Structure 1
Amino acid sequence: MMDDFAVVKAPRLERLVLYRCRAPRGFCTRVRIGDAPRLNSFGFLEPGQLLQIQNTVIVPGMKVSTRSIVSSVKVLSLTVRFGVHNSVKMVPAFLKCFPNVERLHIMSEKCDKPSRYLNRKFWEMSGPIENVASCIKVMSLREFRGEPSGVGFLEFFFQRARVLEVATIVLANSKLTPFPKDEVVSKVREILKKRVSKVSSEVDVLESNGPEGGKPWNFQKGADLSCHDPFSVA
């Protein structure tokens, strides 16, 4: 458990990984990023974490400025509860804070009663997200269960991802987490058919054979600096 984590001055820091760093129930972990000009990979931003860049606390709907972005980050990993409004509404805000992200990885956390109001319209109302349109080349979504907000995100993303090269959607293990797998696969295929981008990209839809919630992150892989993407599903 951790209440506050701050990168104050770290001119040589290239990789920041906060794995399952959560505050006690009812509290939130504050993650502060100050001077880290070489920070390339950052994760896992989780539900309930409060992100602060320089002196700016990131909140939904805010206008980004040079003081509220980290332009050096190319690899970003988020953990999202797609059925929880307070979790989902932070995703556009987080993405706008890292405008040059090229590789985006999202872990979907289980939600007992997902909201049906967090659909594609919600994502469209969040406004343009620069990195989705012009930077993200690799995207992965793990432990996907077909929540309305998750489906809406995929519709929003694939309609706007102009430079996407590879996308991997990993469904949750249906043997451990009951959900309408065939229906979800059908929805994903329909989304892919409606893509407007002319860029040829490879999209894989797989099913996890791991435990509920996904396999634990590999610390050895994360510490290996020869691996340029510590959050890759490969």
Structure 2
Amino acid sequence: MPNQNPRRRPLFSPPPAAMDPPQPLIGISMSDMQATMERGGMDRGTLDLGFNMLLYLVYDYIPKPPVSPAAPLPLSGPSSAPDGVDRISTLPDAALANIVSRLPAKEAARTAALASRWRSLWHSAPLAVVDAHFLPDGGARGPLVIGAPSPREVTAAVTRALASHPGPFRCVHLTCSTMDEHRGEMARWLDVLAAKGVQELIFVNRPWPMDLRLPTTLFSCASLTRLYLGVWRLPDTGAVPRRAAFPNLRELGLCFTVMEDRDLAFMLERSPVLEILTIMGSQSGVRLRLVSHSLRCVQLSYSHLEDIDVVDAPRLERLFQWTTLGQHSSTGRKRRSRIKIGHAPNLGLLGYLDPGDNEMEISNTVIVAGTKENIVPSVKTLAYEVQFGVRNAIKKMPCSLRCFPNLETLHVQSKKNAEPTGKVNLKFWEEGGPIKCVLQAMKKVFFYEFRGLRSEVAFLKFIAERGRVLEKMVVVVASECFSSGGDVNAKLKPLTSAKWNSKACKLQLFKSPRKEGGVPVFSHRLASEFSIADPFDLIYYQESL
């Protein structure tokens, strides 16, 4: 049995338990969904509550403003230099403009009253405009949601701020206005931002309607480096000028957005330096076809995608598929989403895959030991989400693992199923033949929400008894195993008494802090942090066993 590690402090503070969002009726628009629910007798308050949950997800995914009106200021010390000399005002214009650009728009404008030296600085500094800062509380109560009054004074303040500054704009966050009530202002805002050079734009519509179409003027914002859109319908790309593009765009987020396959393909085609793509909660089914020589990270969350086709993405390093919903056919049965990996030589991190619901196709073949095998040799970190109580969900797992011969780190989230439909024992894994990554490459295994199922034990025991270079196995035991009458030691005994192949491996046991298994715990904000080698590795479990 390998050595068990002592109690240790978590690397991250515990995030809140993930909540399964209300799932949209796949295949119909949100406006149709609203009408259907209202005809069914659902009152507006209940509708608003449900859709606010979706809107909160959007707010969670969009980047936080880089400036804040609540920034702390020092209270101690003299208010001016002892000799009365204003040394800050003697700094070069570039340094002072940098200071002003880091202030909220209202505070930046007020610097003109400090001294004559400052009067024209805010006009030359790239300005940050965050509409929530124009609220009476400065946005301290959080984002506005459905049901809150439409802040017309905020909309007017944004119009004045954009008109009074010559640009460029460092960042513009527009999340407070009900855009359907201000279509004229919305169109003028985009015209101004395109003309004056906006670098970062966060643009969220407070529905209704939830499928309001964006003007094609959006494609005139050629200076954009970061763009996040929430609760919109993408512009009609057929009406976009041929030369329109986002030549500087490096990060794109589409949150709860209505789009067609061609619209998404058009935006990717017109973004030649795009590195980070996030699609969260798409309102309609879409096929994602990746042809990009710049993309490094793709994150898909709360979306329903029929196909994910990595055709040609030579720089792609990370592909995340988190809480992704499959399309439903006309018969009401869930269609399996298809993941096709073509040319992606740098793809090192992939997950969460569900062997029961995802059909994987690898178009490139590699000659291995004189035979052709469909493998992705670059993947070093992989995450699965598996129903171990369902045999059909497990039987494809060995073949899937063989696609990644150089896999070093494996994360497995055990999904709770209502009724077990077949068991898998150790013999199942032994009869399937050798799995190269288990034998020769796998160093770390993380298993979350372990419930002591026979299939779970068989899988972990197979890894333990076959892994030659295994260094660490982390098992997080589901909280339900500690309920009255539960014998945790009995559930773990087959694993702790196994004949471990790697005597140096450390077995680390933790109690899950979550009451229910739910969806995989994953920080979407860490997904594109390339300085973090493994975003799946959130060691926040505070109670070791």
TM-score by length of 1: 0.88
| Equivalent position amino acid for 1:105 in 2 | H
Q: Quote the RMSD (CA, aligned, Å).
A: 2.1
For 1:120, which of 426, 429, 450 is the aligned residue? 426
The residue number in structure 2 matching 1:225 is 530
1:233 positional shift: 3.5
Over 3 Å counting, the alpha-carbon distance change for 1:179 and 1:170 in structure 2 is farther
Which of the pair has more CA radius of gyration? 2
The residue number in structure 2 matching 1:182 is 487
| Deviations 1:103-127, CA, capped at 9 Å, x for gaps | 0000000022224531111111211
Over 3 Å counting, the alpha-carbon distance change for 1:179 and 1:52 in structure 2 is farther
Over 3 Å counting, the alpha-carbon distance change for 1:22 and 1:178 in structure 2 is farther
Q: Which has the higher contact order (CA 8 A, sep 6+)?
A: 1
| Equivalent position amino acid for 2:435 in 1 | I
| Equivalent position amino acid for 1:111 in 2 | N
Residues 23-38 of structure 1 mapped to structure 2, 5 A cutoff? 23=326, 24=328, 25-38=333-346
1:100 and 1:199 map into 2 onto residues whose CA distance is 21
The residue number in structure 2 matching 1:193 is 497
1:13 and 1:107 map into 2 onto residues whose CA distance is 24
1:196 positional shift: 3.7
| Equivalent position amino acid for 2:344 in 1 | A
Given that 1:79 and 1:106 are in contact with CA atoms closer than 8 Å, whether structure 2 keeps it comes out as: yes
| Equivalent position amino acid for 1:53 in 2 | I
Given that 1:82 and 1:149 are in contact with CA atoms closer than 8 Å, whether structure 2 keeps it comes out as: yes
Please, which runs of 5 or more residues in structure 1 have no aligned partner?
57-64
The residue number in structure 2 matching 1:20 is 323
| Deviations 1:61-104, CA, capped at 9 Å, x for gaps | xxxx6451000000000111101111101110111000000000
| Equivalent position amino acid for 1:34 in 2 | G
| Equivalent position amino acid for 1:69 in 2 | I
The residue number in structure 1 matching 2:361 is 52
1:217 positional shift: 1.4
Residues 1-234 of structure 1 mapped to structure 2, 5 A cutoff? 1-23=304-326, 24=328, 25-46=333-354, 47-54=356-363, 66-115=372-421, 117-174=423-480, 181-183=486-488, 185-214=489-518, 216-234=521-539
Given that 2:472 and 2:506 are in contact with CA atoms closer than 8 Å, whether structure 1 keeps it comes out as: yes
1:171 positional shift: 1.2
Matched position secondary structure for 2:507: strand
Given that 1:32 and 1:51 are in contact with CA atoms closer than 8 Å, whether structure 2 keeps it comes out as: yes
More helix by share: 2
1:138 and 1:80 map into 2 onto residues whose CA distance is 18
Matched position secondary structure for 1:101: coil
1:179 positional shift: 9.2
| Equivalent position amino acid for 1:48 in 2 | D
Identical aligned residues as a percent: 37
| Deviations 1:35-84, CA, capped at 9 Å, x for gaps | 0000000001013111111178xxxxxxxx64510000000001111011
Please, which runs of 5 or more residues in structure 2 have no aligned partner?
1-303, 366-370, 540-545
Select between 75-84 and 116-125 the one with higher mean Cα deviation: 116-125
Runs of 4+ in 1 over 3 A off after TM superposition: 177-181
